[in-house]
Amino acid sequence: MGYAIIVFSSSTAASRLKRLASKAGINSAGVVQTPKSVSKNGCSYALKCPTSVLSVLKSLADEYGLNYTNIYRELISPDGTKSYELY
């Protein structure tokens, strides 16, 4: 199973999607600070989730007008280094 991050410009939007996900029975998502390697201004938040629930979370964000800036797939190298690519 892989992970994705949905990047938001505020912690409020990321937290709101996390609450909506919990109400929908998805408890595997968490709010994190956006990794520096993908953060344009260094001050944004993301919802990290398994890729298996990404489509549901995108639908919830769209339904409730929660605008995200990008979605990235988290890649982990054999030595444990994380990198991100646009989903």
The 3-state DSSP class for residue 79 equals coil
Q: Note the pTM of the prediction, 2 decimals.
A: 0.91
- Specify the pairing of strand 45-50 against strand 3-8: antiparallel
55 bridge partner residues: none
Place of tokens 């995108």: 58
Taking CA atoms, 15 is separated from 9, 46, 57, 67, 78, in Å, by 11, 9, 12, 13, 31
| Residues lower than pLDDT 70 in the chain | 42
In the CATH hierarchy, which fold is given to the domain comprising 3-86?
A: Alpha-Beta Plaits (3.30.70)
Torsion (CA) 12, 38, 79, 53 in degrees, nearest 10: 50
pLDDT at 28: 95
Q: How is the chain split into domains, by residue range?
A: 3-86
pLDDT at 39: 81
